[in-house]
Structure 1
Amino acid sequence: MSTPSNWPLPTAGIRFLTPAFMVEKLARHPLTKDCYPTAMGFYPQAEGHQMQRERHDDNLLMYCTAGRARMTAGDWQGDIAPGKVVLLPQGLAHDYRADPADPWSVFWVHFQGASTRVFLQYLGYRDGNPLASAGVSPRLIGAFQSLMEVRRTGYSSRAFINASNQLRHLLTQISLEISAQQGSTQGGLPLEQVQAYMLENIDGSVSLDELAAVANMSKYHFSTRYRQLTGYSPIKHFLHMKMEQACQLLDASELGVGEIARELGYEDPLYFSRLFSKTIGSSPRGYRASQRK
């Protein structure tokens, strides 16, 4: 395991290493062997913080919430600013140091596991580019803080199993924040604004022209960018939103299928049922029955 820095820890700082016996358990356990934390912490206003590793045995994720730092990772060099996520895979030589005038505050977690390369790729890591932008997100800060509560459990195996799965959730949450940040950057797609428009019109229909106008983009550019950020075309994603709402109404109301179809802007219940079955994998009545067993 790569040793964390020996930066002098203040009262508000956190540095916690998973003990070797627990790492061995996590590496074998079927619920944790794909991804588990080996060390974690938080360094606030980390004046004088620096680290250099020629040999890096873990994967390392760092999240800057304030201040700045300078980093070299392989052939990449750059500055780390608030809201930036640093992804350093196993084996990548690196060094970093806090800015002397404005030292960073940084959450960090070392992790191992059979699927960690997949997680790094999902977060957008590419060779030569260890940096991503997630913004300074209260949700991510809360997720890091929750993960670090494992240090108060007396090395409980169940607590570390939970922490390993919290780590998986943290990684996927970071991916969501990165995607939202990409959409909101200058010249990008205002994803939240477009999806709010979709929800406002969930009882009707929207066209690609309308959605592109909300985004203030050409249809082609809008459609391409939307698919890059969400994995779906805009109209297909709107359909999925409708079917999510249909599932909620089937589960939580006594409305008939025809009434639910009209609530979502479909005058033909048979057409609605075909769309629902194709999207969800069962008929509306079959879905309701399965939820109420």
Structure 2
Amino acid sequence: MSRTSDWPLPPDSLRLLLPPALQAKLAAHPLSRDLYPTSMGHYRRAHGHQMSRDRHDDHLLIYCSEGGADLQVQSASGPQDFRVGCGDLIWLPPGLAHAYRADAEQPWSISWVHLRGDGAAWLRQAAGYDSAPLRHWGVQHALLNGFAQLLEARHSGYRFQPFLLAASRLRALLCQLPLLRPLREGGLDLESLHGYMRENLQRRLELTQLAAFCNLSKFHFVNRYRALTGRTPVQHFLHLKIEYACQLLDSSGHSVAQVSEALGYDDSYYFSRLFSKVMGMSPSAYRARLGEGRGGA
């Protein structure tokens, strides 16, 4: 296992190493063997914190919530240097030699976890870490809470069940990343844009209007949005509308025509075609399934 930092811990920091026997049980259990932690912790204003690893045999995540640090990784083309700041998440895969040092004036505060399992490589790719080890996500409470939940396994006397739960929480934390998306990336404020879409589900927003909201040309807007989300902005807006249509069909007495009108479609047949394209059934068939007893939990 990769050596963890031996940085002297101040009273408000924590480092938790899992014993080899506990790691072996996690590696063998069907619920954790493809993704489990081997050590974890959080460091607050880590003055003097530094680490250099030529041999690295697990995955390491470091989330910076304050201050900064310098990071260097050894790639096939030579050393690469990165400046780490507040809101950055580093993902260092096995085999990637690296070194980092906390800023002398404003040292970083970090949450971190070493992890193993075959599922980590796929999740790393899904989160967009193929080209570089660092991405800026901003200070996200979902990430901070996710790391904090991992550390709830402490004070358990290394009992297996709390760490099996930690493995499950680690999976939940990593699965958030492809959905979370940066607060702002590539010139797009996705959070504001999606909020604008949700506030206008009753309208038929066109691509021109969505691009104007982001102060971009239609061409650059569509390309940047697709690169970040894997779909077009019009597709996402349509799916938000159909989600809302399903809620109305489930919880209101509105007719299909009334639901169509509530979403800004004067032609209910056109709305039905859009609904069927997304849901694989017509609005009427979707509502009928409730009466057949197949709509519940």
TM-score by length of 1: 0.91
Letter in 2 for 1:78: F
Cα-to-partner distance string for 1:220-245 (whole Å, 9 max, x where unaligned): 01111111122111111111000110
Cα-to-partner distance string for 1:65-119 (whole Å, 9 max, x where unaligned): 1122122111212221111111110111111121222211111110111121111
1:118 alignment counterpart = 122
1:202 alignment counterpart = 201
1:60 alignment counterpart = 60
| RMSD of Structure 2 on Structure 1 (CA) | 1.9
Letter in 2 for 1:100: A
2:272 alignment counterpart = 273
2:173 alignment counterpart = 170
Identify which of 93, 96, 101 aligns with 1:97: 101
1:15 aligns with 2:15: yes
Q: Is the 8 A contact 2:222 2:232 kept in 1?
A: yes
Identify which of 71, 79, 89 aligns with 1:85: 89
1:134 alignment counterpart = 137
Q: Is the 8 A contact 2:86 2:138 kept in 1?
A: yes
Letter in 1 for 2:81: Q
Letter in 1 for 2:53: R
Q: Give the length in aligned residue pairs.
A: 288
Q: Is the 8 A contact 1:251 1:292 kept in 2?
A: no
Cα-to-partner distance string for 1:138-193 (whole Å, 9 max, x where unaligned): 2221221112112233434333232222212212334444433315xxxx023223
1:152 alignment counterpart = 155
CA distance in 2, matches of 1:194, 1:154: 47
SS in 2 for 1:203: coil
CA distance in 2, matches of 1:26, 1:8: 28
Q: Is the 8 A contact 2:138 2:183 kept in 1?
A: no
Cα-to-partner distance string for 1:10-63 (whole Å, 9 max, x where unaligned): 221111122222222222222222211111100101111111111111100101
Q: Is the 8 A contact 2:208 2:218 kept in 1?
A: yes
- 281-290 vs 241-250, greater mean Cα deviation: 281-290
Q: Is the 8 A contact 1:32 1:164 kept in 2?
A: yes
Mark the runs of 5 or more structure 2 residues left unpaired by the alignment.
none
CA distance in 2, matches of 1:139, 1:292: 29
Mark the runs of 5 or more structure 1 residues left unpaired by the alignment.
none
Q: Is the 8 A contact 1:133 1:178 kept in 2?
A: no
CA distance in 2, matches of 1:33, 1:286: 42
Structure 1 outlier segments of 4+, above 6 Å: none
CA distance in 1, matches of 2:215, 2:100: 40
TM-score by length of 2: 0.89
Q: Is the 8 A contact 2:63 2:110 kept in 1?
A: yes
1:29 alignment counterpart = 29
- 277-286 vs 213-222, greater mean Cα deviation: 277-286
Q: Is the 8 A contact 2:184 2:190 kept in 1?
A: no
CA distance in 1, matches of 2:11, 2:204: 56
1:76 aligns with 2:80: yes
CA distance in 2, matches of 1:154, 1:249: 50
- 1:202 positional shift: 0.6
CA distance in 2, matches of 1:71, 1:179: 20
